[in-house]
Amino acid sequence: MAYEVAYNKNFGKWFLNDLIRAIEKYQMIQSGEKVAVALSGGKDSTTLLFLFHLLQQYSHLEFEFSAIHVKVADYNSEVLSTYCETLGIQYIEQTLDTGLDESDNVS
């Protein structure tokens, strides 16, 4: 079940209107396009994912998007999939085999 974000009219004033203008000016997203957002779990990618969620809900832009996370080590990424599930965003995870053992010391 997707989380319904309570829209604050100041979102547009503070940021979303500028974001929409930039997307349109530089033709970053075309109508009906599918967009992949790289999700590392850091504040930048998490914020970008949330902004795309707001744009999809409250702007005239029509696009689909998914979150993609590439695991490079053995760690729990459940918080990322839960975040995406909460927002109703498709989450794709791929594990990258680096060919290194945990005992290998990379300096």
**Tens-binned pLDDT, residue by residue, of the chain (107 aa):** 576 767 677 777 778 889 999 999 999 999 999 999 999 999 999 999 999 999 998 889 999 999 999 999 899 999 999 999 999 999 999 999 887 766 666 55
Q: Are 9 and 54 in contact (CB under 8 A)?
A: no
Check residue 79 and give its pLDDT: 97
Check residue 82 and give its pLDDT: 97
Check residue 58 and give its pLDDT: 85
**70-98 burial, b for 16+ CB within 10 Å, e for fewer?**
eeeeeeeeeebbebbeebebebeeeeeee
Q: Are 76 and 64 in contact (CB under 8 A)?
A: no
Measured CA to CA, the distance from residue 94 to residue 92 in angstroms comes to: 7
Check residue 9 and give its pLDDT: 74
Check residue 15 and give its pLDDT: 83
Measured CA to CA, the distance from residue 88 to residue 57 in angstroms comes to: 11
Check residue 105 and give its pLDDT: 60
Measured CA to CA, the distance from residue 55 to residue 20 in angstroms comes to: 8
Check residue 89 and give its pLDDT: 97
